Amino acid sequence: MIAIDHPRGWEQELTDMGITIGVKVGSANSVAVVASEHSWENSLSVGTAGLVGSGDFLDRVGDPVPVLDDRGQSRPAAQIHAEAVAALLTRLELTDTVDHLTVVHPDTWTSQAVDEAHAALRARDDVPTGEISWIPESRATLAAVEHSEGAFGQGLVIGYDLGASALTVTVLATGDEPRVVSRPLRLDSVSGNEFDRLLLAHTLRVTGVDAELADPGRASSVLDDLTRLRTDCRGAKEALSVDTDAVVDVRVGEVSTVARLVRDDVEDLVRGPITESVALIREAIASAGADQPGGHPVPVTAIILGGGGASIPLVTEMLSATLRVPVLLDPQPGSASAAGAALLGMAALGARDSAATEPTAEIPGLVPAPSPGERPLREIEPAPSTPVTTPAPRLSRRRRGILITAGAAALVLVSATGLSVGTGLVGSTGEATPPPAGAVTTTVAATPGTPGRAATTVAGADAGGRTADAATGTGTR
C-alpha cells in the first residue's frame, strides 16, 4: 500500500496500482510529478537552492573537476544532483517504494554525464524506487504535450526550453520512437534570470534608485534591499504573464515607493532577446537538415514550448508569427517535462507488465480497453499570427525583463553579488521619501493574486495538482 498526499488535501490509498514519478532538477526550481494508471496523484515544485543550497551545479555534471556544495565541501556535481533528487522525493512523503522513477536531464548533457548522475543516484539508499530511467528534457516535454494534444505522426518538431539559466533549442523526430535528431543549441543570454536582471534594472531607473546607487560605497550598504527587490521583480514578471500590469514595492535604503509595471512596456523591451532566439531556432533547423540523408531540409511541423519562461505570452506570439508553424504550450510549462517523464515511466511499466502477462482466453461480452499509446494523431494546421495558446494561471509566476542603459553601476553590483531568487513581496524598514517623477505614489499592501492551481503546502514548497487521466489517453493536466 502506498499513501500519497493528494494535491487537494485528502489522502488517497493506492493498492495494486502502478506508481511512477517524473523528476526534473533545474537551476532555479526542481519538480516532481507522481502519476498512477488512473490519475495524476501529486505534483511538487521546490526551489533547487532550498534542496541543496544552489542550482549552479547542473552544467558541471560529468566534469571531472569537483564543485563546492553549500557546506563548502568539494564534491562531484553528480552527487549534488543525486542529493537534490533524493531531497525532492523525500518532500513527496511517499511511504513505500514506487514502481518507476524517470529523471529528466538537460538536453546538453553528454552520455558520460548521464552515466555519472545515474551511478550517484543508485549509490544512495534514500531513493525509494526500483527502476530508474533517464530522458532528455525536450523528449519528456514532447510526451506531456502529446498526452494533452494528441500524438504527432512522422516528422520533426522543435523543443524550445526557456529556463531560468538558458534557452535550449532541440530538434526532435516524432513518430513511433521520438528521438533527438541533432546537437541541442544553448543560448545563455535568453533566460529567466536575464529577464529578471533587466526588470530589476528598469525598476531601479523608473524609481530613481539607480542614482542613489551611483556611489559604490552607498550601494554596498543596501545589498539586502536589492536582493528583496529582485525577488519582487521576479514575482511581478511572473504576474505579467496573466495580468496586464503589476505593482512592485520598492524600498531600497532611504527610498520607499512603488513602481507600476505594464505588460506592453515590458514586452517591447523583451522582443530583442526573443528575436535572438528565433535565429537560434533557424540554426537548429539548418543543422538538423544537414543531418538528414542527402542533407535536404526537413519541414518542421510544430514548436513545443517548455520551461517557466515559456509562460510569457510574447514568446508564443513571436515564434508563431515569425516561423509560421503551430506553437504548443503545456498548461503548466514549468512542470511539463516532469509530467512527461512520469507518463513515459507509466508507459514503460505497461510494456513490462504486458510482456510478463500470459495470454488469456477471450471472454464473450468483454471489450478490451484502449491502449494508452493509441492517441489520436495531431492534424497540423497553418499557424495564425496571434498566440495559439494562452498560459493557464499558475501559482508560480515567472515573467519579463526590461533593457536599460542607465544605472550601469547598479547593474554591475547586482550581477556581481549573485542575488538569490524567490517569490513574494517583502516590507522594509526606513522612512519613506518622496518618489521621483513617473513613479506611482499609492502604497499597495500586496499585489492582487490570480487564480492558481489547487495546491497544498509540503515542507514549504508549492505543490500544484494535475487533474485528469494520467496515462490512459489524452486529457487536460
Express each pLDDT in 83-105 by its tens digit: 999 999 999 987 666 889 999 99
H-run or E-run covering 35? strand 29-36
Q: Is the pLDDT of residue 31 over 90?
A: yes
Q: Is residue 365 part of a domain?
A: no
Q: Compute how many other C-beta atoms are within 10 angstroms of the C-beta atom of residue 358.
A: 4
Mean pLDDT of 192-218: 86
Which letter does DSSP use for residue 125 in this model?
Answer: S
Q: Is the CB of residue 398 less than 8 Å from the CB of residue 422?
A: no
Higher pLDDT, 280 or 350: 280
- The pLDDT, as a whole number, for residue 179 is 93
Q: Is residue 227 part of a domain?
A: no
Q: Is the pLDDT of residue 469 over 80?
A: no
Q: Is residue 280 part of a domain?
A: no
What pLDDT, in 10s, does the model give residues 56-86? 999 999 999 999 988 888 999 999 999 999 9
Q: Is the CB of residue 150 less than 8 Å from the CB of residue 328?
A: no
In angstroms, the CA 167 to CA 275 distance is 12
Q: Is the CB of residue 443 less than 8 Å from the CB of residue 258?
A: yes
The residues pairing with 174 across neighbouring beta strands, listed in sequence order, are: 155
Q: Max Cα separation, the chain?
A: 85
C-alpha cell at 355: 510482456
Q: Is the CB of residue 173 less than 8 Å from the CB of residue 379?
A: no
Alpha helices in 371-440 (DSSP H): 408-417
Q: Compute how many other C-beta atoms are within 10 angstroms of the C-beta atom of residue 373.
A: 12
Q: Is the pLDDT of residue 467 over 60?
A: no
What pLDDT, in 10s, does the model give residues 153-178? 989 999 999 999 999 999 999 998 99
Q: Is the pLDDT of residue 380 over 50?
A: no
Q: Is residue 77 part of a domain?
A: yes
Q: Is residue 218 part of a domain?
A: no
In angstroms, the CA 289 to CA 283 distance is 10
Q: Is the pLDDT of residue 411 over 90?
A: no
Higher pLDDT, 357 or 215: 215
CB neighbour class for 366 (10 Å; exposed up to 12, middle 13-18, buried from 19): exposed
In angstroms, the CA 141 to CA 307 distance is 9
- The pLDDT, as a whole number, for residue 456 is 29
Contacts of 72 (CB under 8 A, 6+ apart): none
- The pLDDT, as a whole number, for residue 269 is 76
- The pLDDT, as a whole number, for residue 367 is 37
- The pLDDT, as a whole number, for residue 19 is 87
Q: Is the CB of residue 40 less than 8 Å from the CB of residue 338?
A: no
The CATH number of the domain holding residue 116 is: 3.30.420.40
Q: Is residue 92 part of a domain?
A: yes
For the chain, give the percent of residues with pLDDT over 70: 66
C-alpha cell at 281: 531556432
Total domain count for the chain?
1
In angstroms, the CA 179 to CA 304 distance is 14
Identify the domain containing residue 342 by its residue range: 2-157+331-354+454-464
C-alpha cell at 132: 530508474
Contacts of 75 (CB under 8 A, 6+ apart): 66, 67, 68, 69
For the chain, give the percent of residues with pLDDT over 90: 50
- The pLDDT, as a whole number, for residue 268 is 78
CB neighbour class for 61 (10 Å; exposed up to 12, middle 13-18, buried from 19): buried
Binning pLDDT at 50, 70 and 90, where does residue 355 land?
low
Q: Is the pLDDT of residue 461 over 50?
A: no
Name residue 471's amino acid: A
β-pair type (327-329, 300-306): parallel
Q: What angle do CA 348, 351, 352 make, to 5 degrees?
A: 85
Which letter does DSSP use for residue 385 in this model?
Answer: S
Binning pLDDT at 50, 70 and 90, where does residue 323 land?
very high
Alpha helices in 5-160 (DSSP H): 48-52, 77-91, 111-122, 137-149
In angstroms, the CA 307 to CA 173 distance is 20
Q: Is the pLDDT of residue 362 over 90?
A: no
Q: Is residue 101 part of a domain?
A: yes
Q: Is residue 409 part of a domain?
A: no
